[in-house]
Amino acid sequence: MNRFKDKSVVVTGAASGFGAAIARKFAGEGASVLLADIDLEGAEKVASKLTGAVAVKVDVADESDNKAMVQAALDNFGKVDVMCCNAGIPHRGSYMTRMKVEDFDRMWAVNVRSIFLATKYCVEHMPAGSSIISTASIAGKRPRKGLTPYNASKGAVITLTKSMALELAPNIRVNCVCPVSSPTKFDLTSTGKEKLSDDMEKMVIDGIPMGRRATPEDVADSFVFLASDEAKFLTGVALDVDGGRAIS
């Protein structure tokens, strides 16, 4: 399919995980993609395998970096049709009172402030019919114990999405995706290890009716759907990509 031919897409957190899959999916649908990440080498590696893709180094919590990111998209593509605010960070499972204040502030800057900044600087360059899509989490709807600051930040993403949808309608649609736990490098359940123990893996999967965790491709498919004409009447949606976790 070629649903995004002549469209330009910006993806933050594009060096790995969900972001890399989102970038690949849009590129495969004909879009020109700007891959933004603080890990420039990683973003360049992904971009090198995509036709017409460009990678830029961006700290999404930094205002000047967001301005530069949008300008890079304009310099390369002339407009922004889809802004994918995917970048985010977790914290390893522990009680809120044990978290350092600076770590809490950084999480909110990356997970929430970044969406405000990207939107602020891209909106005036987005034609009618454009989309802003963010990565929230099912944790923003159904929190897990020991992840309180993360849960709260993702709940804020959901509310921010709905509020921006009201403010930017009817010209720009604003939605978000709420994935369940995924085995990416930012695995929230892993306590810092690359792979979950068998017991932990079973516990996580037992809470997901579909019997598996989310994949980056699951999330990428959802982003492309929400940006497509098939979803042209959807705005303010927090789409659960969770295998039924929210209802279990």
Catalytic residue annotation = 150
Upstream peptide bond of 170 is cis (omega within 30 degrees of 0): yes
Q: How far apart are the first and last CA of the chain?
A: 35
Residues 6+ apart with CB under 8 A from 199: none
Q: Cα(65)–Cα(149) distance, rounded to whole angstroms? A: 25
Q: What is the CA radius of gyration of the chain?
A: 17
Q: Cα(35)–Cα(38) distance, rounded to whole angstroms? A: 10
Residue 223: closest CA among 40, 7, 46: 7
Sequence-ordered strand ranges (E) for 74-123: 82-85
Q: Cα(19)–Cα(50) distance, rounded to whole angstroms? A: 14
Please give the C-alpha separations between residue 149 and each of 10, 90, 105, 128, in angstroms, as whole numbers: 27, 9, 10, 35
Q: Cα(47)–Cα(194) distance, rounded to whole angstroms? A: 24
Half-sphere exposure of 105 (CA within 13 A, CB side): 4
